[in-house]
Amino acid sequence: MFGVNTKINTIKNIIMHHICIIFIILCITTSGIFSQENQTQETVLFRETWIYLMKGEEHFLTGSEPFTDICYFSATIDNHGNLRGDLTPPVLPINGEIPFRLHLVISELTNHSRTHYLLKSKSTARKNLIKNIVAISRLYDGIQIDFESVPREDGPAFQQFLRDLKKRLPKTVVSVALPPRRSEAHDAYNYAAISKIVDRVVIMAYDQHYRTSKPGPVASKSWSKEVAEFAIAKIPPRKLIMGLPLYGRAWQETRFDRALRYSHLENIISNYNITKTEDEEYGIRFEFEAPVRVIGYYESLSSIVAKLKLYASLGITSVSFWRIGQEDKRLWERIWVQ
């Protein structure tokens, strides 16, 4: 009986020994998995994170995102300096952890002649515009100027406009959105001069390739690095905000939506073996189907995080994103606000 008990104890010890070994292996394996997961989920630290919000897209915000500033896009301007659009601040979910500032974006994106007139020092429209911006600023924490069509010769007038506006808004955060540059462009957007006037400068570091350009990334990492390095050399660190795109673009290799010459028509009819119809009422009508090769580029989670890490490594402490609703929601888990 004693021998049997001894054998049973020996078997128990062997089993316990193997269980301990298995447990240790599991611990090591699990630790490796968690370590890889933590490495994958590494966060990037910033002082300020700005997001652009289009009217009607408020539902994309949950209130849990790591944003310090929300830019409501946008109020437009008429020829008399009046602000157009719904200027009422949006109703947004409250984030209990990170209080955000709300900014109204004032934009003029394409009309060069209107921008020139609005910046003329003695124009009634200019005075009216500044008066209207000051009035609406009482409903917001900040005002952002996004004038993307300033003629080259109006650079000094643009700076004076910003100077006069800031003088009227000493306690309001006045920011400006500027196009990306990798070197001096000798245009209206003098980084160094403008940064001395306003509180924040957003560099829109995207549209490296655009709708009418050849296909390519919206903001490649190497291109973004050059843009950031030029901005760093011109703009004080506490004022600089590097913008990132949350979108992509697609291009058709062959475009058929264009004006046609008769030689074009003959080539189309010949190449696609189509039958045309013709009468005096509408001339020649034709119809055909053709395969279209599409080339697209889109910002991925990894490409955005790579640029965030790049900017952080360059000492940049603030970033912005265009715009909410276009992103992979996992992105917000990768950003930490100081």
What is the Cα–Cα distance from 210 to 193, expressed in whole angstroms? 28
Catalytic residue check, 148: yes
From the candidates 148, 229, 281, 289, which is the catalytic residue?
148
Strand partners, 153: none
Which residue, 228, 209, 203, is CA-closest to 322? 203
What is the Cα–Cα distance from 240 to 229, expressed in whole angstroms? 11
| Burial zone of 112 (CB within 10 Å; 0-12 exposed, 13-18 middle, 19+ buried) | middle
Structure token digits, residue 140: 């917001």
Phi/psi-derived region of residue 141, left when phi > 0, alpha when psi is between -120 and 50, beta in every other case: alpha
CB 308 within 8 A of CB 17: no
Angle in degrees, 0-180, between the axes of helices 301-313 and 221-234, rounded to the nearest 10: 30
CA distances for 93 relative to 59, 197, 209, angstroms: 9, 32, 35
Pairing mode, strands 173-178 and 142-147: parallel
What is the Cα–Cα distance from 91 to 140, expressed in whole angstroms? 12
What is the Cα–Cα distance from 33 to 280, expressed in whole angstroms? 75
Q: Return the half-sphere exposure (C-beta side, CA atoms, 13 A cut-off) of residue 286.
A: 18
CB neighbourhood size of 23 (10 A): 10
CB 332 within 8 A of CB 65: yes
Q: Write down how long the chain is.
A: 338
Q: Which residues are catalytic?
A: 148
